[in-house]
Amino acid sequence: MAVQRVVIGVDSSTQATKAVAVAVDTGAVLGEGRAPHTVSTAAARESDPEQWWRAFNEAVRRTGHADRAAAVSIGAQQHGLVTLDAHGGPVRPALLWNDVRSAPQAASLVEELTPQWWARRTGSVPTAAFTVAKWAWLCANEPQAAARVAAVRLPHDYLTERLTGTAATDRGDASGTGWWTPDGYDEDVLRRVGLDRALLPEVLAPGVAAGVVRAGTPLQEGALVAAGTGDNMAAALGLGLEPGVPVVSLGTSGTVYAVTRGRPQDPSGTVAGFADARGDWLPLACTLNCTLAVDRIAALLGRDREDVAPGGSAVLLPYLDGERTPNLPYASGLLQGLRHDTSPGQVLQAGYDGAAYSLLTAVDDVLRAGGEPVDPSVPLLLVGGGARGAAWRETVRRLSGRPVRVPAAQELVALGAAAQAAGLLTGEAPDEVARRWGTAAGVLLEPVERDTEALERIRETLRAAVPLLNPASGSAR
């Protein structure tokens, strides 16, 4: 009887590390593990990278198959700035993607070089989320800490290096830094922010292993370790995405993306011109406020998150953490249009609508940015934790007017990482592995008539409210 080959894929997200053990030949999930993270509150959004490493080991151990895995790969939250000293220890807690303190640095970089320059060189116009802005913030606000930095890593780079001893990254995650181009690291950007190229990891080509597992982890020593990638790139692998199929992901943040054959360059800044993990491109629009913001509104109203009511005139822009799309990093939430007959359920539904609005209006932008046709008959793939909620599903259907497919597979970032690991063993491309596993299969929801009235109310409210929401910068779509 043939021995079943096993791989492990890991998702080191903002809130937790999740790991899945997967059978290479069938795609069956054999075991799962999870361990939580701690994130600071108030203005800062920071985490200790050491806790990610502890959570990684715990989540992998809990799969029950760590000692059998022949290969492993790590997907992780994008953009985070991990700074290490000469001994490999963190200089300070990592600055996370949703830490908007670096908004002034992002604005200065864009003003100095112009949005067109950034889009042409790096594919994206940097916002507070991008690593380049976070490094500039560190240099300006904590110069003594910056002076101690001997290595700069992204979250997945850090974990891969702890696992293998190799300083390596991939093109997908590197493309979210603001200092990577298709030709490699951009020396002009690095000089402008005072970052030495020697502090950065090597960018591996798709399909190249980062190394092998070292001793001292629950994994078997010598197992292959893939390059890993950013969470959105890993999710695209996990879905086995074909070019031109749009994805809406509902999690702590909201994202809309698609694999495209053309390289995106959007000087408006709505679409980030990321690379994918396999050699194509992954144009993406991202919002800071998604499921957590709506859950917070439900808690304030004392209602279950599914307890919504249709209709009403209320508009709620749930920008509780500032916002990235539209680019309003200093914003807070705004509620408008209350009447005597407005119900709590209508207010909660307005929160869903406000959170979904920017994502759904960016779907066509994402496809066009990568040169793919816009075809409203192609179903949206709806993924992430929010996709399991009826209120989220119905909101997306009503505001998009498109068919919606909800894949049955969960933990798509971890599954994408597992597919990347499996490709090292089989010689397949990771997206081919995922398609063989059937990860995108799921229920298809037929389209309903698009609620243009609700969309127009949100659009007009946002346009009028921008100066109040974000007096320093930003504009409505």
Please identify every residue annotated as catalytic: 231
The answer to whether 406 touches 396, Cβ cutoff 8 Å, is no
Cβ neighbours of 146 (radius 10 Å): 19
How far, in Å, are 66, 329, 337, 355, 397 from residue 324 at the CA level? Answer: 38, 6, 24, 12, 23
For the record, the structure tokens of 141 come out as 């606000």
- Is residue 90 reached through a cis peptide bond, with omega within 30 degrees of 0 on the bond before it? no
How far, in Å, are 23, 79, 333, 421 from residue 296 at the CA level? Answer: 38, 25, 11, 37
State the DSSP string of 168-181. EEEHHHHTTSSSEE
**Nearest Cα residue to 418 out of 7, 6, 4, 5:** 7
The answer to whether 270 touches 285, Cβ cutoff 8 Å, is yes
> Quick one: how many helices (H) and strands (E) in the chain?
16, 24
Rg of the Cα atoms in the chain:
21
Alpha-helix runs per DSSP H in 75-148: 103-113, 115-122, 131-141, 143-147
State the DSSP string of 278-305. SSSEEEEEEES-SHHHHHHHHHHHT--T
Cβ neighbours of 433 (radius 10 Å): 27
Query: What's the DSSP call for residue 260?
Result: B
